[in-house]
Structure 1
Amino acid sequence: MSAGTGGANYGLRDEIREFWSERAETFDQFPGHEIFTEQERRAWHALFERHLGEAGGRSALDLASGTGVVSHLLDDLGFDVTGLDWSEAMLERAASKAASRGRRITFRLGDAERILETDGSIDVVVTRHLVWTLVDPKIAFSEWLRVLKPGGTLLVIDGDFVSQGPLERLIARLERLVQRRGGAPGPALPGDLAERHRSILSRVHFKDGARADEVARMLTEAGFADVVIDRRLGPIHRAQARAMPLVKGLARQIQHRYAIRAAKPGG
């Protein structure tokens, strides 16, 4: 669906929902979305254990859960997981995947910027690759703080998928050269979806890139405490690179990607 298709009330947030709904069918085919190796699974588990501690049956809310990849990782560790997404197509695939694996994860429809959970009801909130898509991060961060229990933990995994350093630009040129010479590019978005992705990205809050320092600053302003930036995601990225064409794998390992842990005061 293109901008304006839904009439006068159809806006950017609707475009974002429709875009991800159309991505649902092939979402898990892309390295960096689904988990392809046990090496990557262990690396994700290590990241969560480092920042969230032992699960102990605590409640975890996976925001913009998509097909449930992060929800499954949290379930592996013993969290009581709810996945929230506003794409019905994503939720259908998530529910089907959980059922096929015998998981007891709750998936439900909802907006990560306007959560319906009651105040102080969640132990842990986790997001992966959500922040860069937010239309109004100030509202979203306030909502995430509100639903956490005092002393609860937020873990954001995200990155700057817009700006590129000199080495990234060199790798991008190399990738284009490989493709022109018939090299295998790996999974890619069809042209129309790629164009819509660029259009959406140009209009979200972090259109110039969601840099870690800026996200951390905004979380502090929203009321979070003990905000810590963790850039030690190398084990995850190296594992993902093994499932990617060489050039894409190199790019994955040098991009500005990070985890941010923050706490709700009290508890």
Structure 2
Amino acid sequence: MSQVANQHNYNLKDEIKAYWSARAETFDSQPGHEIFSEDERAAWHGLISRHLGAGDGRKALDLASGTGVVSHLLDDLGFNVTGMDWSEPMLARARAKARARGRTIRFLMGDAENTMELDGTYDVITNRHLVWTLVDPLCAFREWHRVLKPGGKVLIVDGDFVNPSPFAKLTGFLTKLASRLHIGKQPAHHGPSASLADTHKSILSRVYFSKGARADAVVDLLKQAGFSSITIDQDLRAINRAQRANFGFLKGLERATQHRYAICAVK
């Protein structure tokens, strides 16, 4: 009986948590996750500063912080950063990285859809590649609105990873072909195993944005959650250029043609 109950209680959110916990070991080896050059770091600093301004000690909540990549960028810019993730393996790596770099970033276990933080606590909220995984994004956005101070901002960096452009499909095909034929420089990083790739596909088919997290759909939900002064920024060229050296030419082109964006909204 208990085995049946446990199976019933293991829901989609548990699967997502387990998936990212399994990815923690190789997360920082992959371009697009960790930062591999000062040019890329500067490009991310530029994007964050463009929308959130200087840190000046303001309180920032970095949701789905993973190994702390964005949390460190915020810390670079002078924010007082709390990183929150619900994967303990990710948090362990984030804390170790902060200790190694002498950073005072606080990392907490928590759910982005139910942070358990007090009302009006933070000046800014950030997240990267979180929204597409949300089971209930409207609930999450209302939660983020609640924990922000009046005038506070949320900065979302995400994309539609379901509906590639025709050019992205072509470059994706050529990338896989070149890899199989061992043509050109192969990226020196470890991607997910075949079983984890299948798990990723299964999760993606069942989340709210299973048909693709388009920017306009995200904006509509942000408005419903009470946010205003919403801007969509699709100028991620500096980041794409910096990442291309580690992705390889074709993979870099594929990413550059995806529907990727930063959305900034105000409480």
Distance 2:224 2:230 in 1: 11
| Corresponding residue for residue 157 of structure 2 | 157
Of 217, 221, 234, 1:218 maps to 221
| Corresponding residue for residue 123 of structure 1 | 123
- Kindly provide the amino acid, as one letter, of the partner of residue 207 in structure 2: V
1:110 and 2:110 matched: yes
Between stretches 237-246 and 139-148, larger displacement belongs to 237-246
- TM-score (normalizing by structure 2): 0.95
Distance 1:6 1:37 in 2: 45
Distance 1:254 1:121 in 2: 37
3-state DSSP of counterpart to 1:15: helix
Aligned positions of 1:137-156 closer than 5 A:
137-156=137-156
Distance 2:76 2:61 in 1: 14
Distance 2:235 2:175 in 1: 25
3-state DSSP of counterpart to 1:108: strand
- Kindly provide the amino acid, as one letter, of the partner of residue 201 in structure 1: L
| Corresponding residue for residue 40 of structure 2 | 40
Distance 1:54 1:131 in 2: 24
Of 237, 254, 259, 2:257 maps to 254
1:167-196 deviations in Å (ceiling 9; x for gaps)? 111112212221221235533211000000
1:5-41 deviations in Å (ceiling 9; x for gaps)? 9511001000000000010010000001001000000
3-state DSSP of counterpart to 1:99: helix
Preserved contact between residue 165 and residue 257 of structure 2 (Cα < 8 Å): no
- Kindly provide the amino acid, as one letter, of the partner of residue 80 in structure 2: D
Q: 1:173 to 1:148 in 2, by over 3 A?
A: same
- Kindly provide the amino acid, as one letter, of the partner of residue 200 in structure 2: H
| Corresponding residue for residue 202 of structure 1 | 205
| Corresponding residue for residue 234 of structure 1 | 237
3-state DSSP of counterpart to 1:159: strand
- Kindly provide the amino acid, as one letter, of the partner of residue 205 in structure 1: Y
- Kindly provide the amino acid, as one letter, of the partner of residue 29 in structure 2: Q
Distance 1:117 1:79 in 2: 18
- Kindly provide the amino acid, as one letter, of the partner of residue 22 in structure 1: A
Q: Percent identity?
A: 58
Distance 1:101 1:55 in 2: 19
| Corresponding residue for residue 23 of structure 1 | 23
Distance 1:246 1:191 in 2: 24
- Kindly provide the amino acid, as one letter, of the partner of residue 214 in structure 2: R
- Kindly provide the amino acid, as one letter, of the partner of residue 131 in structure 1: V
1:178-231 deviations in Å (ceiling 9; x for gaps)? 122123553321100000000000000001110111101110111001000001
1:119-150 deviations in Å (ceiling 9; x for gaps)? 11110000100000000001000000000000
5+ long unaligned stretches in structure 1? none
- Kindly provide the amino acid, as one letter, of the partner of residue 12 in structure 1: L
- Kindly provide the amino acid, as one letter, of the partner of residue 38 in structure 2: E
3-state DSSP of counterpart to 1:243: helix
| Corresponding residue for residue 76 of structure 2 | 76
Distance 1:5 1:89 in 2: 26
- TM-score (normalizing by structure 1): 0.95
